[in-house]
Amino acid sequence: MSEAVGSVGAGRMVVDGRPMAYQAGDTVAVAVLRAGEHPHHGGTICLAGDCGNCVAQVDGVGWVRTCQRPCRPGLVMQRHPASGAPPLPVAGQSDVTSSPPARHIPVLRREAEVVVIGAGESGTAAAEAARREGKSVTVLEARDGLEAVAIYAGPTVIVRAPDGMLHINAGEVIVATGAAEIQPVCPGNALRGLVTARAAQQLHAAGVDLGVAVAIGTPPESVPCAPLSGRLVRIESEDEARVSAVVTVEDGEGERTTACDTVILGLGRAARDVLSRMTDEPSVSVVGPAAESFPLPPAPTAGTVCPCSRVQVDDLSS
Ligand code: FES
């Protein structure tokens, strides 16, 4: 996972059949947010590839994380339905029994001495250390179009690349995927107008108007917002779509409601350790924040757990 990489220049794309302008440096998600819309239907935006709150169909491919896709002229984005999967493509009205030809996705197989997943601080340090030992190092970074999606026995690293899939048999794998910002699970967490602290910084730097913004937890540096003390209770909306207020509480005091357009959430981090948990091979190691243990928030009692399928906390206990 990575922070967003944007378009080369300004232009226009197509969103749900309508033209939409984007600026230089925009990802699809940032352009949609700049237009005052949400790339999905709601939920906290991280802009780092960690949540499912920006997925949409892009150029005919479903479930694309639009915060990781640079804009380009003529790109076509279609929002998924508010619940359920997007419809499958139909071959043609005259023959509804035939399927469209499957899209051919090439698979390339490679060998590598050392594969480092992640080109952040810890990944760069690990790659340099391996090179100093005279090893040949391959660095995979989603930001550069090489997204490691799985580690299988071998170890074999499965990589989504711009022109297909890569299967890399590695002598050694170092996972340096960093840490993700924690998303809130509480009533109202599927509304529009919620962003993580790092996403707020990116949006502010991109010139996106956040309106009246409040921050819960650690506020982002250099983003105009009003820090709120206390614990997040729920997020409220006047139209059941977008945030209109946030409710917090402090020990020994009653609830406090604060009107706002945007809630910025600095709730801490959690290790991005999905890849490292796929294998227990001794030749796979984890470094940096991906190997750290972070304090986790208390278990939620209400709210949306899975934004794609709208699974609620109550669904998990029933
Ligand atoms: S994964 Fe794109 S906004 Fe979180």
Instruction: Quickly tell me which residue has 């779509």 as its tokens.
Output: 241
> 143 by DSSP, 3-state: which?
helix
pLDDT at 88: 66
Which residues share a beta bridge with 174?
Answer: 116, 285
Pocket probe mutation, ligand 1, options 67, 77, 80, max atoms within 8 Å of Cβ:
67
β-bridge pairing 55-58 and 76-78: antiparallel
Question: What is the rounded distance in angstroms from the CA atom of residue 45 to the CA atom of residue 230?
Answer: 22
Q: Decide whether any atom of ligand 1 lies within 6 Å of the 49 Cβ.
A: yes
Tell me which residue has its CA closest to atom 1 in ligand 1: 49
Q: Decide whether any atom of ligand 1 lies within 6 Å of the 45 Cβ.
A: yes
Q: Decide whether any atom of ligand 1 lies within 6 Å of the 51 Cβ.
A: yes
* Other C-beta atoms lying within 10 Å of the C-beta of residue 74: 10
Q: Decide whether any atom of ligand 1 lies within 6 Å of the 46 Cβ.
A: yes
Let me know: does 296 contact 283? Beta carbons within 8 Å. Answer: no
Q: What does R_g of the chain's alpha carbons equal in angstroms?
A: 21
* Other C-beta atoms lying within 10 Å of the C-beta of residue 154: 16
- Distance between the two ends of the chain, CA-based, in angstroms? 33
Let me know: does 39 contact 54? Beta carbons within 8 Å. Answer: yes
pLDDT band at 165; cut points 50, 70, 90: very high
For ligand 1, the distance from its centroid to the CA atom of residue 197, given in whole angstroms, is: 13
For ligand 1, the distance from its centroid to the CA atom of residue 184, given in whole angstroms, is: 14
Residue closest to 189 by CA, chosen among 30, 300, 32: 300
- The tens digit of pLDDT for each residue in 5-34 reads 566 789 999 999 999 999 999 999 999 999
Work out the average pLDDT over 61-69: 87
Pocket probe mutation, ligand 1, options 3, 37, 45, 194, max atoms within 8 Å of Cβ:
45
> In ligand 1, which atom is closest to the CA atom of 55?
2
Question: What is the rounded distance in angstroms from the CA atom of residue 43 to the CA atom of residue 265?
Answer: 12
For ligand 1, the distance from its centroid to the CA atom of residue 35, given in whole angstroms, is: 17
For ligand 1, the distance from its centroid to the CA atom of residue 51, given in whole angstroms, is: 5
Task: Locate the DSSP E strands across 83-129.
Answer: 107-117
Question: What is the rounded distance in angstroms from the CA atom of residue 149 to the CA atom of residue 173?
Answer: 13
pLDDT band at 64; cut points 50, 70, 90: confident
pLDDT band at 160; cut points 50, 70, 90: confident
Let me know: does 108 contact 156? Beta carbons within 8 Å. Answer: no
Domain 107-179+270-291 CATH superfamily:
FAD/NAD(P)-binding domain (3.50.50.60)
Q: Decide whether any atom of ligand 1 lies within 6 Å of the 65 Cβ.
A: yes
Please enumerate in sequence order all residues whose Cβ is within 8 A of that of 47, keeping only pairs 6 or more positions apart, or say none. 3, 4, 27, 29, 30, 54, 67, 195, 196, 198, 199, 202, 203
Asked whether the predicted pLDDT for residue 4 surpasses 50, the reply is no
For ligand 1, the distance from its centroid to the CA atom of residue 183, given in whole angstroms, is: 11
Cβ density class 248-274: b for 16+ within 10 Å, e for less: beeeeeeeeeeebbbbbbbbebbbbbb
- Overall CATH class of domain 183-267: alpha beta
> In ligand 1, which atom is closest to the CA atom of 45?
3
Q: Which residue has the higher pLDDT, 163 or 194?
A: 194
For ligand 1, the distance from its centroid to the CA atom of residue 40, given in whole angstroms, is: 10
Q: Decide whether any atom of ligand 1 lies within 6 Å of the 30 Cβ.
A: no
- The tens digit of pLDDT for each residue in 72-121 reads 999 999 999 877 777 766 555 555 565 555 567 789 999 999 999 999 99
DSSP-derived letter for residue 75 is: -
Question: What is the rounded distance in angstroms from the CA atom of residue 170 to the CA atom of residue 282?
Answer: 12
> In ligand 1, which atom is closest to the CA atom of 67?
2
> In ligand 1, which atom is closest to the CA atom of 4?
2
β-bridge pairing 255-259 and 245-249: antiparallel
Strands ordered across the beta sheet of 11-15: 18-22, 11-15, 76-78, 55-58, 61-65
**Could you give the percent of the chain with pLDDT greater than 90?**
71
Please enumerate in sequence order all residues whose Cβ is within 8 A of that of 104, keeping only pairs 6 or more positions apart, or say none. none
Pick the CATH number of 11-78 from 3.60.15.10, 3.10.20.30, 3.40.640.10, 3.30.540.10: 3.10.20.30
Q: Decide whether any atom of ligand 1 lies within 6 Å of the 225 Cβ.
A: no
Mean pLDDT of the chain: 90
Q: Decide whether any atom of ligand 1 lies within 6 Å of the 50 Cβ.
A: yes
Token representation of residue 35: 């237009």
pLDDT at 16: 95
Residues of the chain with CATH 3.50.50.60: 107-179+270-291, 183-267
pLDDT at 95: 59
Can you tell me the ipTM of this complex?
0.99
- The tens digit of pLDDT for each residue in 204-227 reads 999 999 999 999 999 999 999 999
Burial class (CB in 10 A: 0-12, 13-18, 19+), 110: middle
Q: Decide whether any atom of ligand 1 lies within 6 Å of the 67 Cβ.
A: yes
* Other C-beta atoms lying within 10 Å of the C-beta of residue 131: 12
Residue 230, CA distances (Å) to 247, 249, 303 in order? 9, 5, 19
